Amino acid sequence: MLEPVTGRYALAIPPALAGLIDPADPNDPITRQFLPDTRELTPVPGELADPIGDAAHSPVEGIVHRYPDRVLLKLLAACPVYCRFCFRRETVGEGEAALSPAAIDRALAYIAERPGIWEVILTGGDPLALSPRRLAALARRLDTIPHVKILRVHTRMPVAVPDRIDAALIEALKASGKTVYVALHANHPRELTPAACAACDRLIDAGIPMLGQTVLLRGVNDDVQTLATLMRAFVEARVKPYYLHHPDLAPGTAHFRLSIEEGQRLVAGLLGRVSGLCQPIYVLDIPGGFGKTPIGPNRLRPGKAGTIEIEDWRGNLHAYRPG
């Protein structure tokens, strides 16, 4: 019954995540994220094959240059696990997995020729699916580009294949000579297992700070308690919550999407209830390639006689007169 879905979109679930699935729960949030659903074959109006406009900002293969001071470097189209809501689901898991040596040459030349590029963000697919040898080779080439100061890596590997985060991989990342950050994608607190947290420890203890990224998903984390537990779990693992993404308009993902108003209510529910360390930035990646914008709830409104009314975390309004 699911063969048409897996014939259209890639499927892979490593043991670390497969072991979290509760077969007795038809609404299990891990199942929902990773097992195919026939609804994926029914796109709705407004969904887009390239929802965040990668193609419109790709001057050379592998590069997405949407913002002045940073670029994405999409090294490969393979992942250890394929999320059913992925915004790149039309391109990951198909064809040649990794950029060719010639394409990497062109991508690195593009970066080297533009001194305004301060940060390179490795993405894909999952860049940590590459071997340490290939990662180290790329990192050493980035080390020769002096205006690049930051190397950021977006990955699910610590939760998907925790043992992959070993000394060889960490040394490969540090071979860049840059300040390295690793951004971990996790959407439910059950993903942050002891093994996943130990993988994060190995990165952090090696001097690589970590950020947390989460997609707001119906049936997975669309309640305040689950979000609060997840954000606290990130912080307890020394991973700073960074972005809470509103789900993108990828084809066949309507069953995951909430309205922005629902998302704003959930984010408002976190305020005051969890530490400031646990507060992510709620963002929307504007369709068409126009970049991310914060869309959190507005706590300010015009008041009387030159004042501003400010809503506190309990929902009470307070007059504030600007100085």
The one catalytic residue among 67, 114, 134, 222: 67
Arithmetic mean of pLDDT over the chain: 95
pLDDT of residue 323: 74
- Structure confidence at residue 315 as a pLDDT band (50, 70, 90): confident
Using the predicted structure, report yes or no on whether residue 85 has a pLDDT greater than 90: yes
Q: Active-site residue 285, yes or no?
A: yes
Specify whether 79 is catalytic. yes
For the entire predicted model, the pTM comes to 0.94
Q: Tell me whether residue 278 is one of the annotated catalytic residues.
A: no
- Could you tell me which residue, 166 or 94, shows the higher pLDDT? 166
Task: Report pLDDT for 90.
Answer: 87
Catalytic residue among 50, 54, 126, 248: 248
Q: Which of 102-116, 133-147, 210-224, 300-314 has the lowest mean pLDDT?
A: 300-314
Q: Which percentage of the chain shows pLDDT scores above 70?
A: 99
Question: Which of the four pLDDT bands, split at 50, 70 and 90, describes residue 263?
Answer: very high
pLDDT at 170 over 70: yes
Catalytic residue among 28, 86, 190, 278: 86
Query: Is 178 among the residues known to form the active site?
Result: no
Bigger pLDDT: 171 vs 26? 171
Tell me: pLDDT of 95 over 60.
Answer: no
Checking if the pLDDT of 68 tops 70, the result is yes
Residue 96 — pLDDT band, cuts 50, 70, 90? Answer: low
Q: Is 200 a catalytic residue?
A: no
Print the SS3 string covering the chain: CCHHHHHHCCCCCCHHHHCCCCCCCCCCHHHHHHCCCHHHHCCCCCCCCCCCCCHHHCCCCCEEEEECCEEEEECECCCCCCCCCCCCCCCCCCCCCECCHHHHHHHHHHHHCCCCCCEEEEECCCHHHCCHHHHHHHHHHHCCCCCCCEEEEEECHHHHCHHHCCHHHHHHHHCCCCEEEEEEECCCHHHCCHHHHHHHHHHHHCCCCEEEEEECCCCCCCCHHHHHHHHHHHHHCCEEEEEEECCCCCCCCHHHCCCHHHHHHHHHHHECCECHHHCCEEEEEECCCCEEEECCCCCEEECCCCCEEEECCCCCEEEECCC
pLDDT score, position 305: 81
66 classed as catalytic: yes
Residue of 32, 84, 88, 152 marked catalytic: 88
Active-site hit among 66, 89, 156, 257 = 66
Catalytic-role residue among 54, 83, 190, 278? 83
Tens digits of residue pLDDT in 202-227: 999 999 999 999 999 999 999 999 99
Of 106, 240, 292, 299, the active-site residue reads: 292
pLDDT in tens, 37-63: 999 999 999 999 999 999 999 999 999
Cα-Cα-Cα-Cα dihedral sign, residues 244, 246, 252, 254: positive
